[in-house]
Amino acid sequence: MMENENHTFSSDFILLGLFSSSQTSQVFFSFIFFIFIMTITENALLIFLIHRDSRLHTPMYFLLSHLSFMDILHISNIVPKMIADYLSGSRTISFTGCGFQIFLSLTMLGGECLLLAAMSYDRYVAICHPLRYPVLMRDNTSGLLASGSWLVGVFNSIVHTSFALHFPFCHSRAIDHFFCEIPAMLKLSCVDTSRYERGVYVSGIIFLLIPFSIISISYVQILLTIFQMQAGARQKSLSTCSFHMVVVIMYYGPFIFTYMRPRSYHTPGQDKFLAIFYTILTPSLNPIIYSFRNKDVLMAVKNIVQNNFLNKK
């Protein structure tokens, strides 16, 4: 009885997480830890390459550097806490810590949705209107797109974090998730949150459906242009576009399914499974799909390795 009262009146939350003590969970934990290290390394390397190599000082790579920075912040906001909880056996998170997780997660998720739409516009202009590219995608244009993604993401996050933490939590404070995510937290509230949920749907339209529609329209136009190319160039461009769309669908699909369903349709297991895609997997895939398959990036890696080797000699 005393334990329940402590859960009721304590300001801390409990993250039930992904892992248990089973052997399977240990393997899954090792996989998540490997993905985390790989994601940080890939994205940090990409930012370093874009900063060092002047040939990568283009609008597309400028936007990619911001995407990589968002991915580093996002996965670092979630996975280290998961690792620490698993190793220590403690699953508590303070009210402030939970609020910070929500704020940073929503900032990165919202900003990345807008940034991916900006990147698709950049590719559309580059492939469909190459002669107008220097005019339509000047340096200040890419700067405005990147800063706009950050600022709108921060503003949206402030609003939702304030509302989500304002609700009273009258029952168990155990969040059946591996991080503080709003749909999982709303289940703990003892008041009617339907009005706020309608606001979440509006945000979903702005940050999910509209950007996803822009990306889809851009890639349809890109594909129509690609089909008019010669066979060799067409095959290469189709391969690149198909990989891009797979990553976009992996990111937006689970995100839309999580945030644009009524609360009554959410199940903890399903929400956690879907969240893995847009919080852990796609940040690890973005550098590979968007950059490390690109000859300019591979050439930048080769040049840095050669320069370091020559300097040592």
| Contact residues for 156 (Cβ-Cβ < 8 A; gap 6+) | 106, 107, 110, 203, 206, 207
How many alpha carbons lie under 13 Å from residue 220 in its C-beta half-sphere? 6
pLDDT digits (tens, 9 = 90+) for 262-276: 767 778 788 899 999
> 116 φ, ψ to 5°?
-65, -35
- Grouping H, G, I as helix, E, B as strand and the rest as coil, residue 202 is helix
Could you tell me if 113 and 205 are in contact, meaning their C-beta atoms sit under 8 angstroms apart?
no
In this prediction, residues 139-166 reach a mean pLDDT of 94
Rounded Cα distance between 19 and 169, Å, is: 25
| Contact residues for 138 (Cβ-Cβ < 8 A; gap 6+) | 59
Whether the pLDDT of residue 24 is over 50: the answer is yes
Whether the pLDDT of residue 11 is over 90: the answer is no
Rounded Cα distance between 94 and 289, Å, is: 37
Q: Which of 193, 199, 175 is nearest to 264 (CA)?
A: 193
pLDDT band at 282 (very low <50, low <70, confident <90, very high): very high
- Grouping H, G, I as helix, E, B as strand and the rest as coil, residue 279 is helix
pLDDT digits (tens, 9 = 90+) for 184-227: 888 888 888 888 988 899 999 999 999 999 999 999 998 888 88
Q: What is the pLDDT of residue 5?
A: 40
- Grouping H, G, I as helix, E, B as strand and the rest as coil, residue 180 is coil
pLDDT digits (tens, 9 = 90+) for 104-152: 999 999 999 999 999 999 989 988 898 999 999 987 899 999 999 999 9
